[in-house]
Amino acid sequence: MHRLHAYPDLRTMLRRLLFAAITGVLAALAVAGFRHAMLFLEWVFLSNNTGSLVNAATGLSEWRRVLTPALGGLAAGSLLWGWQRLNRQRPHAPTDYMEALRTDGQFDYGASLVKSLASLLVVASGSAIGREGAMILLAALAASWFAQRFTSRDEWKLWIACGAAAGMASAYHAPLAGSLFIAEILFGTLILASLGPVVVAAVIALLTTHLIGGGSAPLYTVHLPQELDITAGLLIAATGLLAGVCGPLLMWLMNASHRLFLRLKLSPPVQLALGGLIVGLLSLITPAVWGNGYSVVHASLLAPPLLAAISGIFICKLLAILASSGSGAPGGVFTPTLFLGMASGMLFAQLCGIWLVDQPSMAVLLGMSGMAALLAATTHAPIMSTLMICEMTGQYSVLPGLLIASVLASVLSRTLRQDSIYREHVAQQG
């Protein structure tokens, strides 16, 4: 257990809260900038203005559907490879906010921006990787840039944490989950009093995002029954246990995919292009493999697909995620994990034989439970995972059930595999 520092005086706390509000605005602008850049690239290269990469893939010819992710991976890999060769002799600082929080609180700004640009290229070209990872990194970079100019060195880690939480709040419309993401996963050496500025930064980021985007609706639209019976509660708990097994398995598959790509001993451009090509080939089976999975999750929560459809999409999307993450495509796996959790929960509902024409809400409920539980199993952060799903759907009535599922998933996952996906990520970055 970490030793708690003394709580700051009133003047220091007020200054921190003011800086937290500024950090929230900067983070929201960074996230909005990445989102609009992605939409612009989709419009220019894919003639798509819907914001859905699945729609973009559906409208393309087969040869373009195959080649676009490969070309995006080639461009991103060439960019990263060229930057590494250009700066081979220069000392390197962290390019990841988790690593920066665990070291001295400084970034390699040039390398981090290049990494974000490479992520933009692979995300906009359809690779099955999350865009939110780059969004949160840019938010943390903006916070770090501000902190190094206006705060003392001993506070730099605090503002990186605020930036990361604000970036998550802006990307997922989930300020409480963003704050708890920092508290459960990243706080480590930070003081307890730091949670106040983190929460303020996250809330201000969300409010700024709402002002920029013009709306405050939840990220996903979900319709559930008003009351849950004992059967639903037991099935939610069972979904948590299932996720507790699937989480370590998913992390093992990602590591195995990464090792397989490394054995090929390809240059970074060719390696990322190969990952993109695999995604392109899979998109011939279903265009739903393009992107981070957000649009598929949204559609499935509105109208749960049948067993054959969700099974096919689940298998193809899993292979696409493994190809993208294994090839080293820069980006996050947060939203892809949410998709896999939703699909596994709905598959569990189908296999349990509870799919009824007049009760599709049960599949939606277990889909939500799968999202929270698999996220908890991979991050080992059950409270954050539960609140994130509640905030993204606006369904706080299921919070107790989701919390039980997330705790069960996290405990079982920790038993089977000690490290979370973030600890392994930092180890691979080092």
pLDDT per 10-residue tile (average), the chain, 430 residues: 51 85 94 94 90 89 93 94 82 75 81 93 91 91 92 87 90 85 61 70 88 74 75 90 95 94 93 95 94 88 87 94 93 88 92 63 90 94 90 88 93 90 52
Distances (CA, A) of 229 to 37, 234, 235, 351, 366: 46, 9, 10, 20, 13
pLDDT of residue 426: 43
CA angle 113, 57, 388 (to 5 degrees): 60
Number of domains, the chain = 2
pLDDT of residue 214: 57
398 touches 390 (CB < 8 A): yes
Whether residue 220 is contained in a domain is answered as: no
Whichever domain contains 237, its CATH number is 1.10.3080.10
Tally the residues of the chain: 430
Same domain, 319 and 382: yes
pLDDT of residue 428: 47
Name residue 130's beta-bridge partners: 332
Whether residue 1 is contained in a domain is answered as: no
Distances (CA, A) of 423 to 260, 356, 363, 415, 426: 20, 41, 32, 16, 5
Same domain, 383 and 340: yes
227 three-class SS: coil
Same domain, 205 and 235: no
Alpha-carbon dihedral sign for residues 177, 179, 183, 186 = positive
pLDDT of residue 40: 94
289 touches 50 (CB < 8 A): no
Same domain, 48 and 74: yes
Whether residue 3 is contained in a domain is answered as: no
pLDDT of residue 357: 46
Same domain, 364 and 422: yes
Q: Number of helices (H) and strands (E), helices first, in the chain?
A: 18, 0
Residue 288 amino acid letter? A
Same domain, 259 and 131: no
Range of the domain at 79: 10-213
pLDDT of residue 411: 93
Same domain, 278 and 399: yes
Whether residue 5 is contained in a domain is answered as: no
Same domain, 242 and 372: yes
Whether residue 405 is contained in a domain is answered as: yes
pLDDT of residue 424: 54
pLDDT of residue 303: 87
Final residue before a domain boundary, out of 185, 213, 241 = 213
Alpha-carbon dihedral sign for residues 58, 60, 64, 69 = negative
The set of residues, in sequence order, having a beta carbon less than 8 Å from that of 352 and lying 6+ positions away, is 235
Whether residue 117 is contained in a domain is answered as: yes
31 touches 171 (CB < 8 A): yes
What is the DSSP track for 3-50? PPPPPPPHHHHHHHHHHHHHHHHHHHHHHHHHHHHHHHHHHHHH---S
Same domain, 187 and 54: yes
Same domain, 249 and 389: yes
pLDDT of residue 193: 54
pLDDT of residue 108: 85
Distances (CA, A) of 367 to 178, 268, 421, 424: 21, 36, 21, 26
387 touches 354 (CB < 8 A): no
Whether residue 394 is contained in a domain is answered as: yes
Same domain, 372 and 410: yes
- pTM for this structure? 0.86
Whether residue 218 is contained in a domain is answered as: no
A 10 A CB-CB count for 221 gives: 11
Same domain, 178 and 266: no
